[in-house]
């Protein structure tokens, strides 16, 4: 799953989870940096953020977004937040706060919320996959198969006790 997140733009993600049937269960991830351009392209939102995309591609703008834990007791999608700052390298003519460029100002104000929305969608997906895996391993057939594994250093007797082989 980390590879998928990295391919989307979440750099060096660390996945945490807690499960499965208690309050606070879920999955989340943190990362020190988000490649905003890669994420926007992956999500096919280039039109929504065309001002950001153009200015980053032109070298006028850099955006730093980090996903950090905000609650250390639990590990689910509501226990992380996005923290961002941007750096302007362009001329005053294209400055985001120039009255001639209100759309870029709007895009910059939305980018942090956009990143955390996308990240939380994938956090929910991670937990769904973990939850399905967990419950598939709890079926009678899965338990029977694990107990009958020939590589175990013991066998179970009919009365449930172990016999080491």
pLDDT tens, residue by residue, 16-52: 999 888 888 999 999 999 999 999 999 999 999 999 9
Q: Which residue has the tokens 């066998």?
A: 155
Q: What is the pLDDT of residue 89?
A: 80
Contacts of 15 (CB under 8 A, 6+ apart): 1, 2, 5, 27, 28, 29, 126
- H/E element, 36: helix 36-42
Q: Which two tokens stand for residue 70?
A: 């905000």
> Do 126 and 80 meet the contact criterion of CB atoms below 8 Å apart?
no
pLDDT tens, residue by residue, 55-103: 999 888 899 999 999 988 889 999 999 999 988 886 655 555 555 677 8
- H/E element, 23: none
Residue with more model confidence, 88 or 121: 121
> Do 73 and 16 meet the contact criterion of CB atoms below 8 Å apart?
no
Among 108, 122, 125, smallest CA distance to 36 is for 108
For residue 147, name the pLDDT band (cuts at 50, 70, 90). confident
Please provide residue 153's backbone torsions phi and psi, each rounded to the nearest 5 degrees: -80, 10
> Do 24 and 18 meet the contact criterion of CB atoms below 8 Å apart?
yes
């Amino acid at each position: 799953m980390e590879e998928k997140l990295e391919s989307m733009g979440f750099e060096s993600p660390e996945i945490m989870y807690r499960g499965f049937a208690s309050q606070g269960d879920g999955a989340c991830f943190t990362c020190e940096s988000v490649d905003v351009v890669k994420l926007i392209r992956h999500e096919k939102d280039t039109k929504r953020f065309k001002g950001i995309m153009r200015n980053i591609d032109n070298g006028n703008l850099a955006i730093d977004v980090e996903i950090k834990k905000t609650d250390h007791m639990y590990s689910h999608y509501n226990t992380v937040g996005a923290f961002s700052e941007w750096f302007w390298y362009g001329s005053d003519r294209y400055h985001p706060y120039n009255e001639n460029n209100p759309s870029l100002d709007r895009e910059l104000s939305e980018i942090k919320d956009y990143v955390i929305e996308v990240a939380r969608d994938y956090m929910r997906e991670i937990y769904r996959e973990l939850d399905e895996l967990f419950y598939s391993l709890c079926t009678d057939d899965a338990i029977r198969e694990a107990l009958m594994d020939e590589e175990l250093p013991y066998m179970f007797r009919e009365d449930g006790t172990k016999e080491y082989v």
